[in-house]
Structures are given as structure tokens and as C-alpha cells.
Amino acid sequence: MILAITGCAIGPEQPQTVRQALLALGQSAAEEVIKSPPLEATSLRDQVLLLSPPSVDGSFTIDQPQLQESLTRGLLGTEDGPQVLDWQPGDTPSEHSGQWLIDSRLIADGPRLRLSDRELLPYRLELRLRRPGDGAAQWSTVINGAFDADAL
């Protein structure tokens, strides 16, 4: 009986910090990339993933380095995972057949959603996997979600 009363007295769940929200997004993105058909063909330990600088919609208070860090941490946190390197457009990748370039875009996906206790910012994270030097994606996916505006 006491537990039921205590449970009712607790207020709404506190919003995640921007770091927590981005780390969760990075983990979700890593799970999608790791299970992609192009990477399933060989051992992840033999793969080198080059992260290109992500594109981030200006309506978020998230910057490119924050998103890139969350994607890097998500990929590096994978058990027996790949090597992960930051890549810049001017870098010349080697001809190593185990290299993949990951392109990403974080886009606002609609207006703010006003709830009784908070506002949510819908987003769409687009991920593309391609070979360095090849503009054609060999795999792509979209992750949809919403950030708690109080966390940003």
C-alpha cells in the first residue's frame, strides 16, 4: 500500500540530457549499421568504418561534433566491432576492401509536438553506407524519433 502511494507522488520522468539522448541515438544507429547486409558478409573486426562529418539541421541545438561523437561511440561500443575513424572530404582513403564510408544527416522531421508536460522535437536520422570513392550507396536506412526539447 505504501509503495502505491509513493509511486503516485513521483512527478514526471526527468528529460534526458542532450548527451544521453545523443548516445542513445548513436547506439541505435550503430545497431542498424552493424546489421546491414554489406557488413554481414565478413567479420566486423576486419571492417574499417570511415565516418564522414554528419549534416545537422540548424533547428537543433546539436552541433556536428556532438553527433559525430555519439555515432563513433555507438560503433566503438559494438562487441567485436569494426575500426572506426573520422573521415574528412579531403582525406584519401586507401584501396583497402574492408573500408566503408558512413554518411549521416540529422533532420528536423516536423513541427514541435506539445504534450501536457513537455515538448518533443521530431527528427529523422538518415544513414548511408558506401565504398570510398563511390557516390552510390550500397545500403541506407532512416531512424525516426523525437528529442525532448528540455534536454536540448
Calculate the CA dihedral of residues 94, 125, 44, 41 and round it to 10 degrees. Answer: -90
Confirm whether 9 is domain-assigned: no
Evaluate whether residue 137 is within a structural domain: yes
Q: What is the pLDDT of residue 132?
A: 86
Domain hosting residue 112, numbered range: 17-148
In the chain, the amino acid numbered 10 is I
Q: Quick check: is 3 in a domain?
A: no
CATH number at residue 27: 3.40.50
* Residues 89-105, mean pLDDT to the nearest whole number: 80
Domain assignment present for 4: no
* Dihedral angle sign, alpha carbons of residues 120, 122, 128, 129: positive
Using pLDDT thresholds of 50, 70 and 90, give the confidence band for residue 4.
very low
Give residue 1's Cα distance to chain centre. 42
Residue 109 lies in a domain: yes
Asked whether residue 113 is assigned to any structural domain, the reply reads yes
Q: How many domains does the chain have?
A: 1
For residue 6, name the pLDDT band (cuts at 50, 70, 90): very low
Residue 131 lies inside a defined structural domain of this protein: yes
Q: What cell does 57 get?
A: 539541421
Type of residue at 82: P
Q: Look at residue 112 and tell me if it is in a domain.
A: yes
Q: Residue 78 above 80 pLDDT? A: yes
SS3 category, 105: strand
